[in-house]
Chain A
């Protein structure tokens, strides 16, 4: 009986810390990408905004939001 209890306690103890450390999976190891993490993102040097009411978006106005940046193409 002792073992499962201990195991469960260990699992419970480690689960929140895993979440707290923000240990999310990466697509593949890439030092150039890793160097971006933990910092403010580079400026969006883009044109032709759509779905913003014509205004460009910048990082300052997105504070407090969770932003998914999708680099994509139509080919």
Chain B
């Protein structure tokens, strides 16, 4: 713990935050220990039933997880000796641009449903033409509505500026759920095949079934549970 306090102090001004999650076992002893040791970074106690320890698949104490500036788990979990070097490497990564306010709600929905964002820059007429094309057949309409949260915006408006789009023609832009642009396509003269290819190219890659199953089996073994495989679809 003194090592962590020191780490938090030395890299705090560069953007490092340390959070200690105390095991539910012996949780009542945390407060006095923290005061005694002068631990000054945020700490809290896992709830009864260990929901946080389970969600992170913690199997020994201490276990260190590191989350990068983009907000994703980067390493689960780190050996103690690699902690400082990994912190340094991740602090050196650029801070992602803040999400434009116009994308906030759609980004929240896309994150929750594991979808991408599709910003349609143009006039209402441009979007009507785009929607007509996308509704030409069921498969394409499904692909778009299952994989994308759509956001309308005018060309040259604040969202276009925030995304750095200088196009003067109606444009569809695919972004990840966090608002990072992935690709764009002109809406004028778009046909079914090209829209289909565009939607396919930028949708969320399906999870690898073997990796997902292996993770579930490991978790089930640890918790002496069984695995229920549910084959389904998001719609």
Q: Chain A: residues with CB nearer than 8 A to chain B?
A: 19, 22, 24-27, 30-52, 56-57, 59, 62-75
Residues of A within 8 A of B153 (CB): none
Which are the 8 A-B pairs with shortest beta-carbon distances? A35-B215, A42-B55, A32-B57, A46-B44, A33-B76, A31-B214, A73-B23, A45-B51
A67 touches B67 (CB 8 A): yes
The residue of chain B having its C-beta at the shortest distance from the C-beta of A62 within the complex is: B17
B21 touching A35, Cβ below 8 Å: no
A68 cross-chain contacts in B, Cβ below 8 A: 4, 7, 16-19, 64-66, 83, 87
Q: Which of B15, B22, B52, B79 contacts A25 (CB 8 A)?
A: B79
9 sample A-B contacts, Cβ–Cβ < 8 Å, listed by A number: A24-B86, A37-B74, A37-B75, A44-B44, A49-B42, A56-B44, A63-B71, A70-B18, A72-B20
Residues of B within 8 A of A70 (CB): 4, 18-21, 62-64
Q: Mark B11-54, 1 if CB is under 8 A from A, else 0.
A: 10001111111110111011101100001111111110001110
> Please, how many angstroms separate the alpha-carbon atoms of A39 and B212 in the complex?
13
A42 to B218, CA, bound (A): 17
Q: How many residues of B contact A (CB 8 A)?
A: 77
Could you say which residues of chain A place their CB within 8 Å of the CB of B39? 51
Partner pick for B218 among A25, A30, A74, CB 8 A cutoff? A30
Q: In the complex, what residue of chain B is closest to A56 when comparing beta carbons? A: B44
